[in-house]
Amino acid sequence: MAAQASHVRPKSSNGKLSTSLVPSFNPCAAPDRTHGPPLAFPSCSTPDQASSYLTLGTPDVNGSAAQSVGSFYWKTWPGLPGPPWDNVSVFDVSISDVRCRAAGPGCGAPGADYAGSVELRVASQISDHNNSVNPGGGADPGTTQSFDFGFTVTCTTTSDPSIGSMCSQHINYLENVIGGSIQDGKRTVWELGQFQVWDGGADADGSTAGDNTRFAVQGVFVP
Amino acid sequence: MRKVVTALVVVGILALPAAAQGTHPRPKSAEKVFAGLVPAYQPCTAPDRTHGPPLAFPSCSAPDQDSSYLTVGTPDANGNAVQSVGSFYWEAFAGVPGPPTDNKIGWKIDITDVRCLAAGPGCAAPGADYAGSVEVRFSSQITDHNNNVNPGGGSDPATVQPFDFSFPVTCTMTSNPAIGSTCSRRINYIEEFGFAIPDGRRTLWEFGPAQLWDGGTDADGSSTGDNTKFAVQGVFVP
């Protein structure tokens, strides 16, 4: 169905979104230091990783070499107008040298390769013309309530003891995520929050999200 | 939350580079972020619709732009052609170890076809090219080895309290009535603050979604109290 009036939209969003990933730390609540200028904000000594379960190789932290590189990539291609729905969205996430903080499910020992899964998560809000009073969709313009969009990413141990596991997933929205394509003509504006990778929690399973803790987020690193 | 704006007074104290000491894990590298920008909408608080499957979430009819001052061309919304393209780019380059400190962080922001919602400062009429400035803003948290008990920096590992990093972006009207203003700026950390991030500090900069805020009632992106959110990182499928 053709989109109807009422929400402004861009010509394109450049068709992609890509970000490097850095380990995430707990917020500073009781500062006991001050950062150097010009970003002279209060700070908390002893940085505390947000993940309770996973870490990365770092010589002066755990004796392993710094080897981790992480990234997330989202690419969209508009399809041909009209059915069949052939808009394509592809997601690629990868993060290398993923190691265990302690022994437990998916973790043979502290520093060992992680043998579980993680979760990619991003806060989302969609404004489009795919809404209706009744379930099933329609042509009404609307803005969804905020929701977390995500998927599970499997981590694979490596045979090289000098580098930890590789967590990697290539996802096609149409085929793998939720079994349906974004329809043509719906003018889908998808607002995105911070890209986050959450660990697998106590059960080392990224798909059981209740116990997962934040492992990495979008960001940059200057050595 | 604290805010860094370009008017921030630069305190040009350069501590000598010190080797980073233990305690915070870090990657080998993390250098780039590229995000398309899409118009921001108000959250849905009283749903009266349901979105189509598979994302069958409650939704609110009549999408309501977050910005009270700016918009982009859209035929069935305001009669103008769809022309807007926006993006935000962040890149970090590691310099050569040792003095002089030459690490570089740079940002690039561009958005086209920026138009006024109503007449007012920076806005001759509804739909006119916007003649003010906007503000790039993203929440930030840094973990590094550039902290001390006393002000001035040092080599202690620490995580700073979250803050908003932001800078204004000037918008330039076009001579073509078919397309609105272009807001564009390239900026780097050294030019902004007068010196580079020192070597060996193992600086991890976590940041939230890239956001573009309008100039508010005074059409000035650097006076941030009255600005409203105009665009955020996202994707668009036509």
**pLDDT of B188-205, one tens digit each?**
887 777 777 888 899 999
- Indicate left, alpha or beta for B38 from its phi (over 0: left) and psi (-120 to 50: alpha): beta
Write out the residue range of the structural domain in which residue A201 sits: 16-26+48-218
Nearest residue to A101 via CA among A64, A151, A140, A156: A64
* Rounded average pLDDT over B36-47: 97
Lowest mean pLDDT among A75-84, B66-75, B113-122: A75-84
In a domain? residue A169: yes
Q: Is A9 helix (H, G, I), strand (E, B) or coil?
A: coil
Nearest to A8 among B51, B65, B151 (CB): B65
- Between chain A and chain B, the number of residue pairs with CB atoms below 8 A apart is 397
- DSSP label of A69: B
Contacts with A76 from chain B: Cβ below 8 Å: 235-237
- Quote the pLDDT of residue A176: 56
Between these two residues, B229 and A150, which has the higher pLDDT value? B229
Instruction: Tell if the CB–CB gap between B22 and A61 is shorter than 8 Å.
Output: yes
pLDDT tens, residue by residue, B144-198: 999 999 999 899 999 999 999 999 999 999 999 999 999 999 998 877 777 778 8
Taking the CA of residue A13 as centre, how many other CA atoms within 13 Å lie in the half-sphere pointing to its CB?
A: 31
Which pair of tokens denotes residue A79?
A: 């399809």
Instruction: Tell if the CB–CB gap between B153 and A35 is shorter than 8 Å.
Output: yes
* Rounded average pLDDT over B6-28: 50
Q: How far is CA B181 from CA A219, B84, B113, B217, in A?
A: 30, 10, 5, 18
In a domain? residue A52: yes
Sequence-ordered list of residues with C-beta below 8 angstroms from that of A175, at least 6 positions apart, any chain? none
Instruction: Tell if the CB–CB gap between B30 and A221 is shorter than 8 Å.
Output: yes
- Quote the pLDDT of residue A178: 56
- Quote the pLDDT of residue A181: 62
CA–CA separation, B11 and B34 (whole Å):
30
Residue type, B218: D
Strands B2-4 and B163-172: parallel
CA–CA separation, B111 and A139 (whole Å):
29
**A-proximal residues of B, 104-123, CB under 8 Å:** 105, 113
Nearest residue to B15 via CA among B143, B145, B106, B140: B145
Nearest to B31 among A20, A46, A186 (CB): A20
CA–CA separation, A129 and A136 (whole Å):
13
% of chain B residues with pLDDT over 70: 91
Q: Do the beta carbons of residue B233 and residue B209 sit within 8 Å? A: yes
Taking the CA of residue B221 as centre, how many other CA atoms within 13 Å lie in the half-sphere pointing to its CB?
A: 28
CA–CA separation, A12 and B172 (whole Å):
20
Is the CB of B84 inside 8 Å of chain A's CB atoms? yes
Sequence-ordered list of residues with C-beta below 8 angstroms from that of A100, at least 6 positions apart, any chain? A53, A54, A55, A106, A107, A108, A109, A110, A111, A112, A113, A114
Instruction: Tell if the CB–CB gap between B27 and A66 is shorter than 8 Å.
Output: yes
Nearest 10 degrees: CA dihedral of B2, B8, B14, B18?
Answer: 20
- Quote the pLDDT of residue B191: 72
Q: Is B193 helix (H, G, I), strand (E, B) or coil?
A: helix
- Quote the pLDDT of residue B22: 53
Q: Do the beta carbons of residue B40 and residue B230 sit within 8 Å? A: yes
Is the CB of B30 inside 8 Å of chain A's CB atoms? yes
Between these two residues, A113 and B12, which has the higher pLDDT value? A113
CA–CA separation, B164 and B98 (whole Å):
30
Which pair of tokens denotes residue B135?
A: 């503000």
- Quote the pLDDT of residue A180: 60
Q: What are phi and psi of B81, to 5 degrees?
A: -65, 155
Contacts with A27 from chain B: Cβ below 8 Å: 141, 159, 161-162
Residue B13 has pLDDT above 50, yes or no: no
In a domain? residue A70: yes
Is the CB of B101 inside 8 Å of chain A's CB atoms? no
- Beta strands, E only, B84-228: 86-93, 104-116, 133-148, 156-160, 163-172, 181-188, 203-207, 211-213
Nearest to B203 among A5, A6, A221 (CB): A221
Residues in chain B: 238
Nearest CA in chain A to B150: A34
Residues in chain A: 223
A98 membership: H or E segment, kind and range? strand A88-100
Positions in chain A short of pLDDT 70? 1-5, 173-181
Instruction: Tell if the CB–CB gap between B20 and A60 is shorter than 8 Å.
Output: yes
pTM of the model: 0.91
Give me the interface pTM, i.e. the ipTM: 0.93
CA–CA separation, B133 and B220 (whole Å):
5
Residue B131 has pLDDT above 60, yes or no: yes
Residue carrying structure tokens 């400190």:
B101
Nearest residue to B199 via CA among B105, B92, B95, B107: B95
* Rounded average pLDDT over B101-117: 93
Q: Do the beta carbons of residue A167 and residue A147 sit within 8 Å? A: no
Structural domain total, chain A = 1
In a domain? residue A147: yes
In Å, how far is B222's CA from the nearest CA of chain A? 18
